[in-house]
Structure 1
């Protein structure tokens, strides 16, 4: 997938893609399409303002996790040609082994000051090469336990869309990749190009890195399939919680059965689990966003700020404003 022939004007942004074995196609496609749309007028797809290459990491086409293959467009050499090298991670099963020459190439790039980007599980590839030491990594909540187990001393964030830590940029995967791409486009080209690319992709304005990932549904370890489904429903309805009885209808069980299975599986009732999830979301929003207390209360499913404040104070012995101030002081 070589970009259309550009004119002689040097691009403002040069990107090399490094595809891991069984890479995530959505992550690659979302990022490269944002570049394509930002690089030219409309969707004419000329590589004018941005240019990109797919580097030959496997001496031929690389097979994605869904079975589709992507062919390289440039050799794996001279990393200094690029402003950013974007590592698109793959399935973790089997260790996500990458060729030794790829690891050496990434280390050479880091030494040359090239900015390194990890999409989805690309953060694992960078960390295994020793290139996340001293940096904060953003990992999907879905893979946080695997990351912590493999890199116990790493600094990790699992509740933001992406993290920019100096010359390392990592993101959780999924649709967060287009917002990380927009961040880079805005930095190297301009905001108008970033906004335009996202609008054509039917996305909203570029989202900041601090934007929340979805909550980890199994933040309390669960083995019961029905309980896990109930947790997902609770998460989806957290901003406008429904009565527990309504959770039971799509699950095909009674409230008493659901409460019994919750207690047996995670030691909490559904209402207690909802309360725990509300508290964690409230804590994070207060400490990591500039939303006012009323907005946070609505995000967490409260109808007014007074009841939200009582909930936080009872749970944490701090008011929402004190909780926010405590984080600022630290």
Structure 2
């Protein structure tokens, strides 16, 4: 049996322990209790979450037989230092575990304990710059869902903890079990670690339904040319009105926004499939592979081949 210990402190994010459901359902799919989970804290007893909900914990101890330690994040990592007892434990004993992980701002706990020195790591995008400033010897990659560097695992914010837990299940029990767990948890997709934390549709965030409808139409039809006239028709506006309203609501021109959606779709296909780059370029509306490469260099500073290699 594989034992997982969650390290909690007052103000922890409830989403961190939501990832326990991934291991719970992995046991169901595997047909045996492969994972055993327990919550730990500096002194044991009840620990209060940021939501105000209390959770019972065991006192962290060197005698605890734990294979994977997972540090939960807090909403205010810059103002809420990790308990000294937890840091001392991780420095002294935690490294004996098979894996150590930080969910969301739990990465700050690992960094404070010195476990991320000269390693790649990620955290919630909002705190990535501050984390890099505080811990210059950590190689922060602020646009990743999760990162595995040897025995150290770190994830982006909130729901990315589910992806990290699912990746652990895949590592332990194989891709078929991981897919089945994702299906049972109604997770829309199993995101790879190299996938971006950001979503272009969320970033554009139009204020009106008519522009949102045009964007939804564009995303469903990226594989063919999309003109301003066509999108304006979906929004029931003249092309001139559409361009003006679109730019006012999203801060981007329609052409710029459509290229961003094509880039996001192409990147997802590169990360999640083995299709040739020529096929991906065609499916996502680029003229050819060269056109897609130019867009990748503008948008990501990397060619598509490098994105695939990193994944």
TM-score strictly above 0.5: yes
CA deviation vs aligned residue, 1:201-248 (integer Å, no higher than 9, x gap): 2236855433444436798xx9x9969xx89x9599546467564797
8 A contact 1:136–1:157 mirrored in 2? yes
CA deviation vs aligned residue, 1:248-291 (integer Å, no higher than 9, x gap): 789xxx535436647xx96x534234435644764686589644
The alpha-carbon distance between structure 1 residues 274 and 149, as it changes in their structure 2 partners (threshold 3 A), is farther
Unaligned runs of 5+ in 2: none
Describe the SS at the equivalent of 1:178.
helix
Describe the SS at the equivalent of 1:275.
helix
8 A contact 2:77–2:105 mirrored in 1? no
- Aligned residue pairs: how many? 298
How far did residue 104 of structure 1 move? Answer: 0.9
The alpha-carbon distance between structure 1 residues 14 and 238, as it changes in their structure 2 partners (threshold 3 A), is same
8 A contact 1:19–1:88 mirrored in 2? yes
Q: Distance in 2 between matches of 1:131 and 1:271?
A: 44
Deviates more, 1:51-60 or 1:13-22: 51-60
- Find the partner of 1:39 among 6, 27, 31: 27
Structure 1 vs Structure 2 CA RMSD: 4.5
8 A contact 1:25–1:64 mirrored in 2? yes
Q: Which residue number corresponds to residue 309 of structure 1?
A: 289
How far did residue 87 of structure 1 move? Answer: 0.8
Q: Which residue number corresponds to residue 245 of structure 2?
A: 258
The alpha-carbon distance between structure 1 residues 195 and 137, as it changes in their structure 2 partners (threshold 3 A), is same
- Find the partner of 1:157 among 134, 138, 141: 141
Q: Which residue number corresponds to residue 6 of structure 1?
A: none
How far did residue 57 of structure 1 move? Answer: 3.1
Describe the SS at the equivalent of 1:97.
coil
The alpha-carbon distance between structure 1 residues 36 and 309, as it changes in their structure 2 partners (threshold 3 A), is closer
Q: Distance in 1 between matches of 2:180 and 2:264?
A: 35
Q: What is the correspondence of 1:263-302 to structure 2 with a 5 Å cutoff?
A: 269-276=253-260, 278-279=262-263, 282=266, 290-297=274-281, 301-302=284-285
Q: Distance in 1 between matches of 2:267 and 2:190?
A: 24
Q: Is residue 84 of structure 2 the alignment partner of residue 103 of structure 1?
A: no
Q: What TM-score results when the alignment is normalised by the length of structure 2?
A: 0.72
How far did residue 108 of structure 1 move? Answer: 1.9
- Find the partner of 1:69 among 54, 57, 77: 54
Q: Is residue 5 of structure 2 the alignment partner of residue 27 of structure 1?
A: no
Q: What TM-score results when the alignment is normalised by the length of structure 1?
A: 0.69
The alpha-carbon distance between structure 1 residues 41 and 105, as it changes in their structure 2 partners (threshold 3 A), is same
